[in-house]
Structure 1
Amino acid sequence: MNPIHFFTLGYYPQYLLIGIIIGIVIGIYAFFRVKYALNDSKLSKNKVIIISALISIFALICCMNVWSNAAIYTLYIFLCSVLADIIRLIVKYPLKDKHLKFMPKLHKKGGLALVFFIIIIIVGAWGMNHIDQTEYNMTTQKIGNDSYKVIFISDTHYGTVQNPQLLKDSISRINDIKPDIVILGGDIVDERTSNAEMKEVFEELSKINSTYGIYYVFGNHDTQPSQTDYENGNRTFTDIELNQTIKKNGIRILNDEKTTINGDIVLVGRSDAEWDGNARANVSEILNEEDLSKYVIVVDHQPLEAIENSKLGVDLQVSGHTHAGQVFPYKELIEFEGINSYGKYTIGDMEQIVSSGLTGWGWGIRNEGKCEYVLININ
């Protein structure tokens, strides 16, 4: 990873206040914790205060952008240190230091917190590099005696934080399933994907064998903004190159469009809300009354407008984007905002499936949710 990415993994000003509050709390804690660790050192009192203050200020700066590696790792160090403090208090008072005599020194110098932090990183790295198959079963009267196997893949963020070989291995497993329909739910590439990697991932995905084809909707990261390639200061591929590559590999783009599959399923692909906002069409403008007699699947990269789609008569909505939080505590923040973050939800007569994604974004770890592709059996 480019060192600059440590502080620049996306920036959303609406979260600045949260970052400042978290940074102040952690900064104050860091000041007294470092001062405590150094109070029996050979350093002068002034030097101890200066060092403690500098680390405190650095912690505050790291937390300013809550969507950065700097913020998440600073938070984890803080939580690990607090946990170590709690354990130390338990050993010191209820247990009277009778059994763990090494604890005082290990705790004071931060060794115990460091052990917890290393465990979190190792578990998170494991989580980012293991992909599971998640299966859901749907029943409907709209498709008679037929059945369909639908594969949903989203959020690969190819070439950024996961070994590309894992995608290739997943494609082999998917082909063993013999899917009828494959849906790519956006963020297959992102602002750190190179031009060569962009071409490679769609070539690999085109190797999935499906009865009725592969369909694509854009995510908020697919279309690179003009200044988010942090190494070069410019885009690695244009919108035209991206679209041409997708189509060249036999993948059909659905951008506020629909298609009917085998006379049974109407597949609606939405443009991404973050890019098109109010400009994107309503699902009601895309569907007609005849479509609703068929099994209607709406694919929206972000899990939005589920209640509206349910009222329209949509049968299934599939989305990605949330990564099931990916790292603690983002799942909790997502759900606090009232967004369905992961799994299967029933909304009226409609089912909604939100995938955690094949990979993850930005951070090279995952400790919330799992890396997955989704198999949906429609019977």
Structure 2
Amino acid sequence: MNPIHFFTLGYYQEYLFIGIIFGIIIGIYAYFRVKYALNKVDLSKNKKLSINIIIPIIALLCCLNIWSTAAILTLYLFLSSVTADVIRIIWKYLLKDKYLNFIPKCHKKGILALIIFAVIIISGVYGMNHIELTEYNLTTDKIDNESYSIVWVSDVHYGTVQNPQLVKESISKINDLKPDIVVLGGDIVDERTSKEDMTEIFKELGQINSTYGTYYVFGNHDTQPSSTDYENGNRTFSDEELNKTIRDNGITILCDEKTKINDDIVLVGRSDGSWEDRIDRIDTCKILNESDLSKYVVVLDHQPVEYEENSRQGADLQISGHTHGGQLFPYAIFEKLMGHLIYGEYHFGNMEQIVSSGLTGWGWPMRNEAKCEYVLININ
């Protein structure tokens, strides 16, 4: 991992206020927690004061950019310490078991908090390095005497935070499923994927055997302008090179386009909506009004947006990714509070919406929200 990523995985000024609030809260807590830990330590008063001031300042600075590994680790240290405080209080007032007499001492020295912190980090690394199959079974009366299987793979962010071998093993398992349709749902690569890795991953994905082909819809990361990324550097491949590589490997790009499968299913591939408050693409009403709604209409959209409108217009299924299922606690909580779809299966009228957490994750080499997955959807 590039050392610069520890401090920045993209800076957005609109999140600075949140970072300041978190930093102040954690900084104040750190001041009193460190003061308590140093209470009976044999240090001069000036040294204790210096430590008491320096550590809260470091905590505040680490929290300013909430999209950084530094902020996440600081938050988890804070949560681990608070959890240790709660355990200490429970022991003092409810348990006082002689076999648990080690708790006060471990708590004061911070050992208990560090153990909890280690568990969080280890479980997060484990979560990022295990990929599972998630299966959904849907029924429809629009298809006679046939069943179809769709595999959805999104948010690979290849060559960044996950072992590439795990991705290749998942592609092999997808082949074993013998799917009818494969959809690559965007962010297969991102702003930190090298040109070599970009070429490699689409060569691997192009070898998936699917009865009716493999299709691609773009995400917000793989379509960034060549002059922009989150690291003050340039992508090593252009949009033209990306598109050519995808097509050269037998993968069909659907960008506000549709295609019919065996006169039963209509796949409607959407261009990426960028961010939810800046959607600039063909109106969903227009593209669906031009579709044969007597067929089973599947909207493929990297981000889970416009789902209510798609339902009203007669779509039967929408498949999305982008959210990573939150990836790291507590991001999923914030997203849910904002009313966003995060992970799993939702129902809007007669339409199903499936949101995948993605094959990998972005930025941080950890995951403790949802799981790494590829999705199999059986339509019967």
Please name the residue that 1:220 is paired with.
Answer: 220
After TM superposition, the structure 1 = structure 2 runs for residues 185-196 of structure 1, keeping only pairs within 5 Å, are 185-196=185-196
- Between the aligned partners of 1:309 and 1:375, the Cα distance in structure 2 is 22
Q: CA RMSD in A?
A: 1.6
Deviates more, 1:86-95 or 1:135-144: 86-95
Cα distance, 1:97 vs structure 2: 6.4
The CA distance in 1 between the partners of 2:49 and 2:94, in whole Å, is 32
Cα displacement (A) at 1:275: 6.9
3-state SS of the aligned residue for 1:236? coil
**Secondary structure in 2 matching 1:212:** coil
Q: How does 1:155-234 map to 2 (within 5 A)?
A: 155-225=155-225, 226-228=227-229, 230=231, 233-234=233-234
CA deviation profile, 1:204-262 (whole Å, cap 9, x unmatched): 101110011110011111124424263x8222111111111111111111111111111
State the 1:89 CA deviation. 1.9
1:345 counterpart letter in structure 2: Y
Whole-Å Cα distance in 2 between the matches of residues 290 and 322 of structure 1? Answer: 28
Cα distance, 1:14 vs structure 2: 2.4
- CA contact 2:150–2:183 (8 Å) conserved in 1: yes
Cα shift at 1:273: 1.0
Shift in Å, 1:334: 1.0
Q: Deviations over 1:50-98 (max 9, x none)?
A: 2121110111111111121111111110010011111112223333463
For 1:17, what is the secondary structure of its paired residue? helix
User: Matches of 1:268 and 1:128 in 2, distance apart?
Assistant: 31
Letter in 1 for 2:285: S
Residue equivalent to 2:15 = 15
CA 29–326 in structure 1, closer or farther in 2 if over 3 Å, else same: same
Output aligned runs, 1:114-125, within 5 Å. 114-125=114-125
- Any idea what SS the aligned residue of 1:144 has? coil
Distance of aligned partners of 1:278 and 1:96 in 2 relative to their CA distance in 1, 3 Å threshold: closer
CA contact (8 A) 1:190 1:221 kept: yes
Q: Which moved more, 1:167-176 or 1:347-356?
A: 167-176
What is the Cα deviation at residue 172 of structure 1? 1.3
- Counterparts of 1:1-379 in structure 2, within 5 Å, are 1-96=1-96, 98-225=98-225, 226-228=227-229, 230=231, 233-274=233-274, 277-288=278-289, 291-379=292-380
Shift of residue 332 of structure 1?
0.8
Q: Give the letter aligned to residue 341 of structure 1.
A: I
- Given the two structures, how large is their TM-score scaled by the length of structure 2? 0.96
Alpha carbons 2:10, 2:230 under 8 Å: kept = no
Given that 1:153 and 1:358 are in contact with CA atoms closer than 8 Å, whether structure 2 keeps it comes out as yes
Which amino acid in structure 1 is aligned with residue 50 of structure 2? I
Shift of 1:278: 4.0
C-alpha distance in structure 1 between counterparts of 2:62 and 2:261, whole Å:
49
Distance 1:86 1:39 in 2: 20
Which deviates the most, 165-174 or 280-289? Answer: 280-289
Q: Give the Cα–Cα distance (whole angstroms) in 1 for the partners of residues 180 and 154 of structure 2.
A: 17
Q: Give the percent of matched residue pairs that are identical in Structure 1 and Structure 2.
A: 68
Pair 285,56 (structure 1): closer, same or farther in 2 beyond 3 Å = same
Kept in 2: contact 1:224–1:237 (CA 8 A): no
- Structure 1 unmatched ranges of 5 or more: none
1:291 Cα deviation (Å)? Answer: 1.2
d(CA) in 1 for partners of 2:55, 2:338: 32
- TM-score, structure 1 length as denominator? 0.96
What is the CA distance between 1:264 and its match in structure 2? 1.1
Q: Distance in 1 between matches of 2:315 and 2:179?
A: 22
Amino acid at match of 1:263: D
Is 1:229–1:235's contact at 8 Å kept on the other side of the alignment? Answer: no
Question: 2:98 corresponds to which letter in structure 1?
Answer: K
**2:339 alignment partner, SS class:** coil
Distance 1:259 1:121 in 2: 44
SS of corresponding position for 2:115? helix
1:143 partner letter: I
